[in-house]
Structure 1
């Protein structure tokens, strides 16, 4: 041990450990009492753990970091100066101040990557819950104001770059996914090693409305005027009252509404003005259900809708001068007799916090995080997956089209839909059985109701005979009257509180119910045995893990949720966000043990760090069928992908539907068709392409008739999805073998183009395609940012656009704007009715002039794990732009059923050959390929 002294009251000690260093502070004038540990995992990964002085180092087994983690170090050196102790690897330096305990990270050239802010008295605040003692944890990081910060899960605020004074709640909730991993354009990541509810970014508490200076519509100071009127006759006023706090966020707040008013009949109009004691950017945070419109200074700035059982959120930014008054008007039409509306705000970020990004967690034993450095953002994600596990290759069929509905109520319904798809020759690979296929009382039994599904095994076989897979909804919820309740109760495999509270669900007469405890190994095994016995053994192919937050009840407040959710391994406060991780673990491990060679597929509404290793994909929950909701998914999906968790999708068409679309007039019907067309177009360029939602039915032929532009559009993109199968499946392999991310922010591939850092309405699909979904009603053009340094080609026409500019591009009804990067090598296959209909022995290879390019075509057996044993093949394509030469390299690897001979039809796209998917080429080169290297000169 070495002691560093700074006078009698400034003492810091450090000692080397086998993998790093421990630095201790006690009775220091310049630091809180703390022990700081640096544990080097690889040359690019360092774990930092800080605990109050003398406290034990956290030793519980991590739920996130994989057990099989092996250290890989080229070099490790610990050196000291008078004021620091330096831990140096081949790639990074982590320098601990012996005065303050703060840790700074530098690259091998001495350039700053990121720094901690000094820990203080707020870093560890003792607390407890249900007999579990812990600390409320806070850590600030000093970041570069120019860097882009991404990840942190999936959120519905349309924010792409979180380095803009934003607050992000890492909290599992329907439509919200909290993943405590941050990814920076400065080529580092932070895995915040904590399972509790966490705030990230600007973590200052949100302020209530009355922290602003309010004035009523009559000019009286201190409140806004809230006028409750008849929603069908706004001239009929029920009452008017002052309101200075708007806080109706949960069921427990409903008593705050005027007792003499029926919300289901009411429209509430808030009027007045507000002023702030601060100057700068203010952020208004809304939680709402029903219809919500907001005007500020006469400008309509929000027009939203959400059903009451699933309240939504949005944010509004407003630059405000100190003490400047701004008129505000809000019109709120509640959704039914129970509805929700809160309004809080963030003040401008003070100078002292301008360059801080923070993590603030409800419960933990330590400030605990992994710092990950890389040569690129992809390299950082590779480090994250080294810690938390690789994402397996999903089965080949999952890259086809999926049809779902809430819900197919009978065996006859689901069989009819399958038959109709095949009759119409609309390609499809997967059909989905949503909830309530069980008998009404038997939620949790995981068995079909034989009155409505008389022969489930025969039904599954019939679907398989039609080359369809079937995924089924398997809730982690168990009704008290179910056939399995007593077994789970007697084994202590459930959370009993909700039963004792008598809280009922919404099925039939209403049943008391609860959730099983996936933190208990016995409960996980018991749950899988139910799925295996009743569903897997009859041929079910994939699992839809709904309500995996767990969603005990959507609108009870957090304290109630915590009291109901009590994991066997510790308190709900400590483990709040980890339920979906453990839920997926049980299914994945159960199926792989039962059938080791059939690929697991899990679709889950909630997700946590590390869950990608359990063959889990996420969807964005019960979003609404509105244009603004479609746009919100873009940033949500991209940031989810940049959380190191690659498989993501959403309900194409949205889930929750306004009444006006149920029995639409002619105008609303055409909007419904256009909305779905645009949503299908977007969904075709995601890891999973699935349509799902409530009534109206979501099958393409139920949305629009043959010949309608909507029908043509939807069937076009479904067919295009299958033409891109070779490209998409190769991306999946790249995701596993190279820890790639299929959905990509512009910043990932163009980190020097800062104009793309905040782009929240376009993204890259793989290395080649730039996608810009149309999210406005009636739009036939889109503003599109073309990253600089490369040219781009229209996918459909082949027309070239120079990078480094923003342009208004065509977006006709039947096409989503998609551009291909110069240098891309894009394989396009034949039209298929399902992914395994035939071998892709003929592929068009589109080669785009203007830059060197590479693509690796990957193939394997498609539905087993032989690829883990090396049974797969690759064909590498390289394009040399200088010599205009395409090289087909010698094939590597083999597997059962591999094509030994095939044909590539080479299409060179350039200024002289302007061709695309909708403009067939008259100039191409056919190449017979037998696995030997070939070179082709392109003209």
Structure 2
């Protein structure tokens, strides 16, 4: 027996000759396994993995034709060329199955292989992650598909098991995945279209949070997003003029509807020949700087859509073409003339840029920096899949700076998003780079980008699917995710003429429920086409639908101290915002496949209303809008996980876990529960996130168990928090003593309130205690 710090290299024979298999311990719980078929595996420089192997203490033992490597977390056994993994107690986690190298004989990748590896899955072993799949499933058992990035579905080449391990498959080509049906033992298959080697990482974390932490250790931590990005964002497809956009900006302030962001969608650049010029060239935007300044004067922020393709009349197209950095396949827009269907006799000539080239990324940023210098606050990076118009095998054969497009296809979102993030960080430390984008890949969490689920339909079915979409996305170690509130495509609700969807009670109910769901996503953004989405078009104060929409937005702002404090836990301690129930209640097996509820942070159980309660779910195409009693009482079944009691957030009523209840579900709110033993910091009513210094916060204690919460604050923007300029205040509740302790504040930052007021409320006690706090510990009984 030998204790050593090492990388194991094992030579075994395959059908095609000598095959080298290597095992690298990156940490005691993370193992890299590679196999090559005569290639040099060390040449495989990862686009995703940024970590290097640590000096891991490993005990090696060889006997009876097998070699066993043991750390304090894992036992890795190699026998007959196959690798198996067990935890420190000897519980088998996963065993490799068959692998294969299939030579490619044609095209630019003819000297490479199709590479395949299989992994064991037990009969009742739940599998999560994979990516952003519009299949409505949380547990991905039975899933079979070709993974290639697209508008509404993206893939991370990563999955994790309810047994507490994950696998990251480090290959960027389109990859086939097959997961055995639930209840059947079998092999999970991963087969990539192009690869020189088989290369994967086994991550043992003990639970989902540990697996996520391991993946972030490998591929990058999550930076803090600005405070304002957690506010409400209003968008539509699209504001055709700057006066349209500014009308919304001003009207929201006049009506006192809180918001922080206004979003300008595409075509502010003018004709399709000027596609993505990264300049305001359309006639409706004669004074773009004045427009941006006015948004800022209203204490709001502006996000602008940018694409990865360029029209032939643009400056970036000409420079990229001259350098050979445009990819030769048809993309959006296909036609240079407005309208649909496109005119094939007037092709647009638009081309996607080669984001795999460092020089091309430099050119992209050089052109984008024009908007950055104008003060644009956020980049809406659309079509980061990127869009194909008529994808075929020839398109995937086009060359890029890193080989054929096929060989690196699925990493495109990472490359283009990271290019913008890194460039902005290099030149601007005054405000945090913030991006929301349509596509992603493993490792993209290190840019802080927030991925939305693409152009999904405005339907109850689509809304229901967004919950498992976001949860599985989160389980690939990417915490920042959201959807277009109300769904993008509202055309089907226009049963009474163009844009009549906004007057259609069926669409109004859907919009309200999606808004209530969106209040607990990591970005709350209303957007779509077929009908405008501005809240004031859906009634007026005192009317149920309007009030419900506004109340959902106000609730979001009420939770900002909770959300921003949790953002610190995500960044510092690898936590997640939207949490599948099994992450916190794994012992309750019912939670393993609940796809319509989630935890938001560690304390809130969110139970969105996923079906119509007031109107027919099926769209009524008669064009006649029926009268609806929006004040009618409704209920909705929700499941409360076992092992803990739950408080109704709205009423304070206490329920035992482990049961399904008929929750009150008026149009004004969705069911929301707080687990006993929680502390919620809740902020005052504000019109925008940075309106005050949050020196008057409510602290609400939900008794029944001891509780703690770390209140985090910083300047709200810039990167000074990375230099230690932030503060934390620990809050602790001793349930037996019925005592709340507000601990000594640690740290400081510019503009920090030195004294403040906390309004302490214990649920079940009507008394509110006002506490003056100056940074020193204080206890309240």
1:405 corresponds to 2:236: yes
How far apart, CA to CA, are the structure 2 residues paired with 1:526 and 1:657?
37
Q: Is the 8 A contact 2:430 2:718 kept in 1?
A: yes
Residue 628 of structure 1 deviates from its aligned partner by 0.6
Residue 756 of structure 1 deviates from its aligned partner by 0.9
Residue 829 of structure 1 deviates from its aligned partner by 0.9
How far apart, CA to CA, are the structure 2 residues paired with 1:106 and 1:830?
50
Which protein shows a greater Rg?
1
Structure 1 match to 2:628: none
Residue 77 of structure 1 deviates from its aligned partner by 2.3
The gaps in structure 1 that reach 5 residues or longer are 3-14, 204-347, 914-921
Q: Is the 8 A contact 2:103 2:110 kept in 1?
A: no
Match of 2:767 among 899, 903, 923: 923
- What is the 5 A alignment of 1:386-535? 386-440=217-271, 441-449=273-281, 451-498=283-330, 504=335, 507=338, 511-533=348-370, 535=371
Q: Is the 8 A contact 1:169 1:198 kept in 2?
A: yes
Structure 2 match to 1:378: 209
Structure 2 match to 1:693: 528
Residues 860 and 132 from structure 1, CA distance in 2 versus in 1: closer, same or farther, beyond 3 angstroms?
farther
CA deviations 1:626-679 (Å, max 9, x no partner) are 111100101001111111001001100111123442636799711111111111
CA deviations 1:262-306 (Å, max 9, x no partner) are xxxxxxxxxxxxxxxxxxxxxxxxxxxxxxxxxxxxxxxxxxxxx
Question: Secondary structure of 2:189's partner?
Answer: strand
How far apart, CA to CA, are the structure 1 residues paired with 2:661 and 2:146?
35
Q: Is the 8 A contact 1:73 1:89 kept in 2?
A: no
Q: Is the 8 A contact 1:855 1:876 kept in 2?
A: yes
Residue 149 of structure 1 deviates from its aligned partner by 1.6
How far apart, CA to CA, are the structure 1 residues paired with 2:185 and 2:60?
33
Q: Is the 8 A contact 1:850 1:881 kept in 2?
A: yes
- Which TM-score applies when normalising by structure 2? 0.93
Question: Secondary structure of 2:348's partner?
Answer: coil
How far apart, CA to CA, are the structure 2 residues paired with 1:759 and 1:125?
42
Residues 688 and 506 from structure 1, CA distance in 2 versus in 1: closer, same or farther, beyond 3 angstroms?
farther
Residue 200 of structure 1 deviates from its aligned partner by 2.2
Residues 48 and 506 from structure 1, CA distance in 2 versus in 1: closer, same or farther, beyond 3 angstroms?
farther
Question: Secondary structure of 2:661's partner?
Answer: strand
Residue 127 of structure 1 deviates from its aligned partner by 5.0
Structure 2 match to 1:61: 45
1:167 corresponds to 2:4: no
Residue 199 of structure 1 deviates from its aligned partner by 2.4
Residue 485 of structure 1 deviates from its aligned partner by 2.3
Structure 2 match to 1:562: 396
Q: Is the 8 A contact 1:21 1:87 kept in 2?
A: no
Residues 16 and 486 from structure 1, CA distance in 2 versus in 1: closer, same or farther, beyond 3 angstroms?
farther
Residue 706 of structure 1 deviates from its aligned partner by 3.2
1:748 corresponds to 2:583: yes
- What is the 5 A alignment of 1:37-52? 37-52=22-37
Structure 1 match to 2:64: 82
Residues 47 and 131 from structure 1, CA distance in 2 versus in 1: closer, same or farther, beyond 3 angstroms?
closer
How far apart, CA to CA, are the structure 2 residues paired with 1:799 and 1:705?
31
Q: Is the 8 A contact 2:566 2:601 kept in 1?
A: yes
Structure 2 match to 1:551: 387
How far apart, CA to CA, are the structure 1 residues paired with 2:96 and 2:491?
47
Residue 543 of structure 1 deviates from its aligned partner by 0.2
Match of 2:93 among 110, 113, 125: 113
CA deviations 1:379-423 (Å, max 9, x no partner) are 211110011101111011001000001001111111111000000
CA deviations 1:902-931 (Å, max 9, x no partner) are 111111114xx4xxxxxxxx3122221111
Structure 2 match to 1:773: 608
Residue 479 of structure 1 deviates from its aligned partner by 1.3
Match of 2:166 among 175, 179, 189: 189
Match of 1:541 among 369, 377, 386: 377
How far apart, CA to CA, are the structure 1 residues paired with 2:598 and 2:379?
28
CA deviations 1:49-84 (Å, max 9, x no partner) are 1223x3321513211011xx2444452222212221
Structure 2 match to 1:138: 116
- What is the 5 A alignment of 1:581-592? 581-592=414-425
Residue 531 of structure 1 deviates from its aligned partner by 0.7
How far apart, CA to CA, are the structure 2 residues paired with 1:708 and 1:857?
36
CA deviations 1:717-771 (Å, max 9, x no partner) are 1011111000000111110000111110001011111101111111110001111
1:611 corresponds to 2:448: no
Residue 502 of structure 1 deviates from its aligned partner by 11
Question: Secondary structure of 2:563's partner?
Answer: helix
How far apart, CA to CA, are the structure 2 residues paired with 1:451 and 1:623?
30
1:764 corresponds to 2:599: yes
1:713 corresponds to 2:540: no
CA deviations 1:450-479 (Å, max 9, x no partner) are 521111111111110100100100111111
1:785 corresponds to 2:639: yes
CA deviations 1:493-515 (Å, max 9, x no partner) are 1113449x995366456512111
Question: Secondary structure of 1:757's partner?
Answer: helix
Residues 176 and 592 from structure 1, CA distance in 2 versus in 1: closer, same or farther, beyond 3 angstroms?
same
How far apart, CA to CA, are the structure 1 residues paired with 2:577 and 2:154?
19
Residues 706 and 566 from structure 1, CA distance in 2 versus in 1: closer, same or farther, beyond 3 angstroms?
farther
How far apart, CA to CA, are the structure 2 residues paired with 1:18 and 1:134?
33
CA deviations 1:809-849 (Å, max 9, x no partner) are 11111111110011110111101000011111111111111
1:805 corresponds to 2:682: no
How far apart, CA to CA, are the structure 2 residues paired with 1:696 and 1:495?
35
Structure 2 match to 1:733: 568
Residues 631 and 76 from structure 1, CA distance in 2 versus in 1: closer, same or farther, beyond 3 angstroms?
same
Residues 502 and 548 from structure 1, CA distance in 2 versus in 1: closer, same or farther, beyond 3 angstroms?
closer
Structure 1 match to 2:10: 23
Question: Secondary structure of 2:450's partner?
Answer: strand
- Which TM-score applies when normalising by structure 1? 0.77
Question: Secondary structure of 1:806's partner?
Answer: strand
Residues 27 and 442 from structure 1, CA distance in 2 versus in 1: closer, same or farther, beyond 3 angstroms?
closer
How far apart, CA to CA, are the structure 2 residues paired with 1:155 and 1:711?
32
CA deviations 1:595-642 (Å, max 9, x no partner) are 133200111101001111112110000001111110010100111111
How far apart, CA to CA, are the structure 2 residues paired with 1:812 and 1:123?
58
- What is the 5 A alignment of 1:229-308? none
Structure 2 match to 1:285: none
How far apart, CA to CA, are the structure 2 residues paired with 1:201 and 1:129?
26
Question: Secondary structure of 1:156's partner?
Answer: coil
1:199 corresponds to 2:148: no
Q: Is the 8 A contact 1:58 1:365 kept in 2?
A: no
Q: Is the 8 A contact 1:154 1:639 kept in 2?
A: yes
How far apart, CA to CA, are the structure 1 residues paired with 2:251 and 2:502?
28
Residue 202 of structure 1 deviates from its aligned partner by 3.0
How far apart, CA to CA, are the structure 2 residues paired with 1:93 and 1:127?
39
Q: Is the 8 A contact 2:494 2:501 kept in 1?
A: no
Question: Secondary structure of 2:41's partner?
Answer: coil
CA deviations 1:535-564 (Å, max 9, x no partner) are 0111001101101111022xx24425424x
How far apart, CA to CA, are the structure 2 residues paired with 1:879 and 1:537?
48
How far apart, CA to CA, are the structure 2 residues paired with 1:532 and 1:633?
34
Structure 2 match to 1:640: 473
Match of 1:898 among 734, 748, 752: 752
Question: Secondary structure of 1:750's partner?
Answer: coil
How far apart, CA to CA, are the structure 2 residues paired with 1:19 and 1:117?
25
